[in-house]
Amino acid sequence: MEERMVQSRTHNCDQLRLSDAGKTVVLAGWYENLRQVSKNLAFLQLRDFYGVTQIVFEDEAMLEKLSGVNKESTLQITGTVRERSNKTDKLPTGEIEVVPTDVKLLGRCIYNELPFEIRQSKNAGEDFRLKYRYLDLRNPEVKEKILIRSRVVTELRQRMNDENFVEITTPILTCSSPEGARDYLVPSRKFPGHFYALPQAPQQFKQILMASGFDRYFQIAPCFRDEDARADRSPGEFYQLDMEMAFAGQEDVFEVIEKVLPPVFEKYGTYATASKPPFKRIPYLESLEKYGTDKPDLRIDLQVTDVTEVFGKTEFEPFKDAVVKAVKTDGFTATRKEIDKMMADVEMESGNKGYWFRVDENGAYVGGISKFLNDHKAEVDAALSLKPGDFVGVCAGKKTAAIKTSGVIRRMLGQASEGHFDKERYEFCWIVDFPMYEIGEESGELEFCHNPFSMPQGGAEALDAADPLTVLAYQYDLVCNGVELSSGAVRNHDPEIMVKAFKLVGLGEEDVKAKFPAMYNAFCYGAPPHAGIAPGVDRMVMLLTGEESIREIIPFPMNKQAQDIMMGAPATVEQKQLDEIHIAIKEEKSE
């Protein structure tokens, strides 16, 4: 009869303390490192999920059991706990060590050389790390980010339950919907030529739940969008705290989010302080004018000033027939080389040039574009309330370009200026009163600005306005430290108003019925006013951990090209599989 192998441990590798001295214990974990002092003295670091314990070998025969065993193999160590002579406070187990009486090899690492040192994995190239993600995740520093993510998700669930929200999962296989990004399509085996789509968001399902009589819904929802990667956006899939409330408006959503998020940020965040409710509310157009962005970092106290009228009088050619924006600070003492580097970074990020000048101790303008401003000094002083020691960053161009560039200058100057960047906190705000419509950059036609399912402020009467671009919507963004965590809206639950809203962008009632049949029909049976939001879990955890890249907090992320290089996806499949789903591969002709 085959002997059954029992892999057991009495303690984990972070558990033993001085009070355990004298106990016989069984540990199991990865062979992290061995420091051999002599043929009968060596120190082994055994690592498991929980921590590290030092194993001290004082017997040549026992040490021989490690002969030919490579690092990162898994071992079972039976031994006696004793007080450690060279104690260390770098480990929770630093006061003890284990003297082994038996060593068993549980899982052999067959490679003499590792792709990278486990604790140095973050120094390896990203694609290399993702190819060997199972090794990268053994690094306690990398693993800790994933653990924080798990704890945050658990806490969010509990807090939503405490607010009487019901967790409901919505379908993954659904129909393609015009959400604004590319769909991932799934061909149907039973219905040739037809496709499912992975949901870009559970938008329609959660609104249908409201029409179905559910009062408060939420889920940690997987969303799928075929988008390019960015530092704060993972290609392929992401997760959001999706929620919706019936018989509710904008302030009801704000109240819930302001209860749920700040305690989570204070508990798990790199910074211990988060905004207290109510969060600051900033109208969209005001945010663009004051901060140069609709995602302002309110930890920076600098603001943008429109100086078009005054600076347009100068002889500086870029200011002619342009919108001119300026940002003033009194805490910026950079060298000329550092200023030039900042202005180059401004241009690289915004695609538009940045300019500058200083006010010296006598009140005179020096450096940069100062010579073009001297003839209008009194007006410039008044426009910017200048005083000796001030530094001013300036940009010009068409309105959209000038606004974007001013936001970049504000952020860079704020972060580099002493006394103007309160970094050690989480500062939330709501961006509200988004325009319902805009002129599309590519189409040149009227398009929805934010979300086609939103309720216009003023209802049906507002849509009769002479200029649709003046119509505001009950749409809002949640922003934290300059990062957009979420978009949300009070939904358009009235079929008549919905048809009128879509008509303005050239879609008739039949188009609405065709594009959103289930939701439109559900609303025709009497729908409650409802509102919702969906803060991104990945972005939240990225902020909480202080990581620059969102891929650091996702267990198995794709790379920047949307490839899973560990699993080899996307990959080719067998012809039989293609035949079953009625798909033929169209070969691209080489020129």
Q: If you write DSSP's letter for every residue of 540-590 in order, what string do you get?
A: HHHHHHT-S-GGGGSSS---TTS-BTTTTBS----HHHHHHTT----PPPP
**Percentages helix, strand, coil for the chain, rounded to the nearest 5?**
30, 25, 45
Query: For residues 257 and 476, what is the distance between their CA atoms, to the nearest angstrom?
Result: 12
Q: Judge contact between 408 and 350, C-beta under 8 A.
A: yes
Burial 251-271 (b: 16+ CB within 10 A, else e): ebbbebbbebbbebbeebbeb
pLDDT at residue 449 in the model = 86
pLDDT at residue 314 in the model = 95
Among the listed residues 545, 552, 550, the one whose alpha carbon sits nearest the alpha carbon of residue 265:
545
Where do we find the tokens 């325009």? 435
**3-state DSSP assignment of residue 337:** helix
Domains of the chain, earliest start first: 18-107 (2.40.50.140), 300-416 (3.30.1360.30)
The amino acid at 477? D
**3-state DSSP assignment of residue 1:** coil
Q: Judge contact between 249 and 474, C-beta under 8 A.
A: yes
Sequence-ordered list of residues with C-beta below 8 angstroms from that of 542, at least 6 positions apart, any chain: 232, 483, 549, 550, 552, 553
Query: For residues 557 and 550, what is the distance between their CA atoms, to the nearest angstrom?
Result: 9
Cα angle vertex 233, ends 116, 480, to 5°?
Answer: 110
pLDDT at residue 227 in the model = 85
pLDDT at residue 1 in the model = 40
pLDDT tens digits in sequence order for the chain, 591 residues long: 444 545 689 999 999 999 999 999 999 999 999 999 999 999 999 999 999 999 999 999 999 999 999 999 999 999 999 999 999 999 999 999 999 999 999 999 999 999 999 999 999 999 999 999 999 999 999 999 999 999 999 999 999 999 999 999 999 999 987 656 789 999 999 999 999 999 999 999 999 999 999 999 999 999 999 988 777 778 889 999 999 999 999 999 999 999 999 999 999 999 999 999 999 999 999 999 999 999 999 999 999 999 999 999 999 999 999 999 999 999 898 999 999 999 999 999 999 999 999 999 999 999 999 999 999 999 999 999 999 999 999 999 999 999 999 999 999 999 999 999 999 999 999 999 999 999 887 888 999 987 888 999 999 999 987 799 999 999 999 999 999 999 999 999 999 999 999 999 998 899 888 888 999 999 999 999 999 999 999 999 999 999 989 999 999 999 989 999 999 999 999 999 999 999 999 887 765
Pairing assessment for the beta strands 365-366 and 391-397 based on DSSP bridges: unpaired
pLDDT at residue 573 in the model = 94
The amino acid at 180? G
pLDDT at residue 233 in the model = 78
